[in-house]
Amino acid sequence: MKVLLVEDDQFHASYMEDVLVETLPEVTQIFHAQNGDEAEQEARAMAIDAVVMDLRMSQRNGIEAARTLWQERPETRILFWSNYADEAYLRGISAIVPEDSAYGYLLKTAPRDRLKLALRAVLIEGQIMVDREIHRLQRAKGQPRTSLDDSEYAVLLDLAIGLQDRLIAERRGMSLRTVQNRLLSLYDKLGVDDAHEDLPINKRVRALNRALVTRTLNIETLETAQRDFDRWQAGRG
pLDDT at 90: 84
pLDDT score recorded for residue 131 = 80
Q: Report pLDDT digits (tens) over 1-56.
A: 999 999 999 999 999 999 999 999 999 999 999 999 999 999 999 999 899 999 98
Three-state secondary structure call for residue 227: helix
pTM of the model: 0.76
Phi and psi of 5, rounded to 5°? -105, 115
pLDDT, residue 108, reads 93
Q: Give pLDDT, residue 147.
A: 81
Q: Cα 126–223–118 angle (5° rounding)?
A: 20
The C-alpha atoms of residue 32 and residue 90 are separated, in whole angstroms, by: 24
Counted residue by residue, the chain has a size of: 237
pLDDT score of 199: 66
- At residue 148 the predicted structure's pLDDT band, cuts being 50, 70 and 90, is confident
Evaluate if residue 136 carries a pLDDT over 80.
no
Q: Is the sign of the CA dihedral 159, 161, 164, 168 positive or negative?
A: negative
Please give the domain boundaries of the chain with CATH numbers for all domains.
Answer: 2-140 (3.40.50.2300), 150-236 (1.10.10)
Closest CA to 51 of 230, 199, 150, 38: 38
pLDDT at 40: 94
Q: Point out which residues pair with 73 in neighbouring strands.
A: none
Angle of the 87-96 helix axis to the 62-72 helix axis, nearest 10:
10
pLDDT at 16: 96
Euclidean distance between CA atoms 184 and 186, whole angstroms:
6
For the stretch 65-101, pLDDT in tens is 999 999 999 999 999 999 888 888 888 888 889 988 8
Terminal alpha carbon distance of the chain: 44
DSSP assignment, residue 26?
T
Instruction: Return the pLDDT at 85.
Output: 81
> Distances from the Cα of 110 to the Cαs of 41, 116, 157, 181, 215, in angstroms?
29, 10, 30, 40, 20
